């Protein structure tokens, strides 16, 4: 009995524990450091809630981006897709009036504008997935093209102008802690999908060894199609939150959002080499991005320097990932 207990105690590997949860300690380190530097302003409860609310759209899309990167893909169109979904949601969420986007449209239930945005996002993702799965266009090329096309479509839809004045009850989706709740629900659903469904097992199998996955009977094209459709759906949801938070939708929304999403996903431990990625890692990576953005803003650091910092973080994260997989 004592020998068994000793074996159990000695089986704990502190080095492995530290390696696995290093990003959590990095997040805590950033929080403590910024709390000290800002004289406690960063640690105020309202500010901490604002950090999570601001990065909720990034985290939501990051859940889908993780699946793409696990299978050695990527999606550069997420920001433009969110913008297109945002303007569609805004155009349908305005109360009736002569100066609205659709002057003759009666007041619609909230779920109509939400479902329309989700449908638009899913459609864009399905088109991307078809390019990757059916026409075998590399994800980088397919999503780069869609990034331009979706951004152009958003501008065409609105004639390049923002759509403002969305209904107060629609705006509740982006207010208070609602975005945090939506993010938590999305993370929970994504965890279940990746860890408890056949689709999730296929995602990891393809990322680990695509050839072996094919031999075992997994439909790689079908899985890729589902992944990019899922990313589009999540980008549409992010677009809804962006519109509800500001009370307007604009074709410029989501500009460079893909940078934040990829950064959060990679920081969270999702490997570009495929087969590795966790929901909790993406959430921690998202919070790190939020903490950095908010902290640098409180310190009045130029937005341009913030972009430099995030670009550097991506490079460092990739270098660490490559060293771990040698």
For residues 19 and 29, give the distance between their C-alpha atoms in angstroms, rounded to a whole number: 15
State whether CATH 3.30.420 applies to domain 44-295+303-321.
no
For residues 125 and 115, give the distance between their C-alpha atoms in angstroms, rounded to a whole number: 15
Residue 180's CB is within 10 A of a number of other CB atoms, namely 15
For residues 61 and 82, give the distance between their C-alpha atoms in angstroms, rounded to a whole number: 9
Give the per-residue pLDDT at 36: 94
Q: How far is CA 171 from CA 165, 247, 260, in A?
A: 10, 6, 24
Domain ranges for the chain: 44-295+303-321
**CB 291 within 8 Å of CB 26:** no
- Residues 85-121 have pLDDT tens digits of 999 999 999 999 888 999 988 989 999 999 999 999 9
Q: How far is CA 117 from CA 16, 91, 103, 211, 249, in A?
A: 43, 10, 20, 36, 11
* Lowest mean pLDDT across 229-233, 268-272, 317-321: 317-321
Query: Tokens 């105020």 sit at which residue?
Result: 44
Confidence of residue 195 (pLDDT cuts 50, 70, 90): very high
Q: How far is CA 120 from CA 19, 115, 123, 179, 192, in A?
A: 40, 9, 5, 20, 25
C-alpha closest to that of 52 among 158, 202, 179: 179
C-alpha closest to that of 323 among 255, 271, 251: 271
Instruction: Tell whether the model's pLDDT for residue 72 goes beyond 50.
Output: yes
For residues 119 and 219, give the distance between their C-alpha atoms in angstroms, rounded to a whole number: 24
- Residues 291-323 have pLDDT tens digits of 999 998 999 988 888 888 878 877 887 777 667
Q: What are phi and psi of 248, to 5 degrees?
A: -155, 160
What is the CB-side half-sphere exposure of residue 99 using CA atoms within 13 A? 5
Give the per-residue pLDDT at 303: 85
Cα first-last separation, the chain: 40
Instruction: Tell whether the model's pLDDT for residue 3 goes beyond 60.
Output: no
Q: How far is CA 113 from CA 118, 230, 244, 325, in A?
A: 9, 19, 11, 44
DSSP SS3 for 163 = strand
Instruction: Report the sign of the C-alpha dihedral through residues 31, 35, 38, 44, in that order.
Output: positive
Secondary structure letter of residue 39 according to DSSP? T
**CB 70 within 8 Å of CB 274:** yes
Confidence of residue 324 (pLDDT cuts 50, 70, 90): low
Residue 215's CB is within 10 A of a number of other CB atoms, namely 9
**CB 216 within 8 Å of CB 205:** yes
- Residues 240-257 have pLDDT tens digits of 999 999 999 999 999 999
Averaged confidence pLDDT in the chain: 92
Instruction: Tell whether the model's pLDDT for residue 178 goes beyond 80.
Output: yes
Give the per-residue pLDDT at 305: 87
Which H or E run includes 300?
none
| Burial of residue 220 (number of CB atoms within 10 Å: 0-12, 13-18, 19+) | middle
- The stretch 145-164 carries a mean pLDDT of 97
Give the per-residue pLDDT at 65: 98
Give the per-residue pLDDT at 87: 98
DSSP SS3 for 248 = strand
């Amino acid at each position: 009995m004592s020998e068994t207990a000793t074996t159990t105690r000695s089986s704990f590997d502190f080095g492995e524990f530290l390696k696995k949860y290093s990003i959590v300690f990095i997040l805590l380190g950033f929080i403590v450091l910024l709390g000290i530097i800002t004289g406690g302003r960063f640690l105020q409860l309202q500010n901490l809630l604002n950090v999570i609310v601001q990065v909720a759209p990034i985290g939501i899309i990051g859940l889908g981006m993780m699946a793409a990167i696990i299978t050695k893909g990527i999606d550069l169109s997420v920001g433009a897709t969110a913008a297109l979904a945002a303007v569609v949601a805004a155009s349908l969420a305005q109360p009736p009036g002569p100066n609205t986007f659709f002057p003759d449209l009666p007041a619609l239930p909230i779920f109509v504008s939400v479902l329309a945005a989700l449908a638009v996002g899913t459609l864009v993702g399905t088109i991307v997935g078809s390019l990757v799965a059916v026409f075998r266009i590399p994800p980088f090329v397919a999503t780069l093209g869609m990034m331009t096309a979706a951004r152009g479509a958003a501008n065409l839809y609105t004639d390049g102008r923002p759509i403002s004045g969305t209904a107060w009850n629609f705006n509740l989706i982006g207010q208070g802690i609602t975005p945090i709740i939506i993010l938590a629900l999305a993370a929970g659903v994504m965890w279940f999908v990746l860890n408890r469904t056949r689709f999730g097992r296929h995602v990891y199998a393809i990322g680990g060894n695509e050839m072996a996955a094919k031999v075992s009977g997994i439909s790689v094209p079908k899985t890729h199609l589902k992944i990019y459709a899922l990313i589009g759906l999540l980008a549409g949801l992010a677009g809804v939150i962006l519109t509800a938070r500001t009370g307007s939708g604009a074709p410029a929304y989501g500009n460079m959002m893909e940078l934040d999403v990829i950064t959060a996903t990679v920081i969270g431990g999702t490997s570009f080499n495929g087969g590795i990625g966790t929901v909790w890692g993406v959430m921690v990576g998202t919070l790190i991005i939020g903490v950095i953005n908010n902290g640098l803003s409180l310190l009045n650091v130029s937005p341009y320097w913030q972009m430099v910092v995030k670009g550097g973080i991506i490079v460092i994260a990739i270098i660490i990932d490559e060293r771990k997989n040698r």
